[in-house]
Structure 1
Amino acid sequence: MFRSMFPGDIFAQMDRIQRELQQTLDLEPSIRGVARGSFPALNLGSTPQSIEVYVFMPGLDPASIDVQLEHGVLTIAGERADDLSAQGERATVQINERFAGRFKRVINLPEQIDPEAVNAAYRDGVLHVSVARRQSAQPRQISVH
């Protein structure tokens, strides 16, 4: 009787839909410090001399990446093309887990940065942005006489 009322395995489909909704709506920070599903993923750290940002975005053309620093706010934006859509009607999508479309990550940096000393390099799918701290903000050893 239940087979005719529920085509296929409806409970498995409902479970899948519930998991997808939880993943989509889960905006609480994870142990990694960012909302799950954020693209691109990034690591942020600091040294006494600089703030170091590593942004993981494989498969992008470096010319399509826009990096801006304004009033202590670092903005990284760009766009990743949808490879499957480019195939046209030749491809039937079965699973598509790779992010495609426009993205933007915004990072508030501490006040003691030097906006004139910023370097950005993209290599092997990782964008590395290094923002130097002002000389006056760097720790220094003070000798006692």
Structure 2
Amino acid sequence: MLYRSLFPRDLFAELDRLQREFASTTALDASPGIRGTGHGGYPALNVGSTPTSVEIMAFAPGMEPSGIDVQLDRGVLTIAGERSNPLPDSDDKTTLHLNERFGGRFRRVVSLPEDIDPSAVNARYRDGVLHISIGRREARQPRRIDVQ
């Protein structure tokens, strides 16, 4: 059983925990958390776009690039893999009090806009962040037309 103080040190963390508990008991929760984070899963994603590309950042620290599988099929990007969660050896003298680090298989799926170019994909992993850049087709990019 976890010990919970009657007077939490971090009020926002306690409110976030209460919101997660409430969300796990109801199917109505579709809003972001109290700190503005989404309820996506692991790895956390940032998805944005520029006029020339779609940019995806997946935050997956402690992984090897070879352990991350990235696939693009018919406008759907899939990021999958497995993350180990080494725990202390369990014996009579070892007790695990808290384990918040995610370990296990993961899979995230992102639907992409129709104007992406599947041949213009670049993925790189550095310092725990997977950065995927997908170019847009030339015909769909806005262009300025000079009036004569």
Taking a change above 3 Å as real, the CA distance of residues 30 and 117 of structure 1, as seen in their structure-2 partners, is same
Distance 2:146 2:98 in 1: 63
- Structure 2 gaps, min length 5: 7-16
Taking a change above 3 Å as real, the CA distance of residues 114 and 83 of structure 1, as seen in their structure-2 partners, is same
Taking a change above 3 Å as real, the CA distance of residues 111 and 65 of structure 1, as seen in their structure-2 partners, is same
Is structure 2 residue 114 aligned with structure 1 residue 111?
Answer: yes
Distance 2:66 2:24 in 1: 30
Distance 2:72 2:131 in 1: 14
1:23 positional shift: 5.8
Q: Computing the radius of gyration over CA atoms, which structure comes out larger, 1 or 2? A: 1
Taking a change above 3 Å as real, the CA distance of residues 40 and 24 of structure 1, as seen in their structure-2 partners, is farther
Higher helix share: 1
Taking a change above 3 Å as real, the CA distance of residues 21 and 51 of structure 1, as seen in their structure-2 partners, is same
Taking the TM superposition and a 5 Å limit, the aligned residue runs for 1:1-145 are: 19=18, 21-22=21-22, 24-25=24-25, 27-30=29-32, 32=36, 34-35=38-39, 38-84=41-87, 87-90=88-91, 91-145=94-148
1:34 positional shift: 2.8
Number of positions where the alignment pairs a residue of Structure 1 with one of Structure 2: 130
Taking a change above 3 Å as real, the CA distance of residues 28 and 100 of structure 1, as seen in their structure-2 partners, is same
RMSD of Structure 2 on Structure 1 (CA):
2.7
TM-score between the two structures when normalised by the length of structure 1 = 0.78
- Structure 1 gaps, min length 5: 1-8, 13-17
Distance 2:86 2:23 in 1: 23
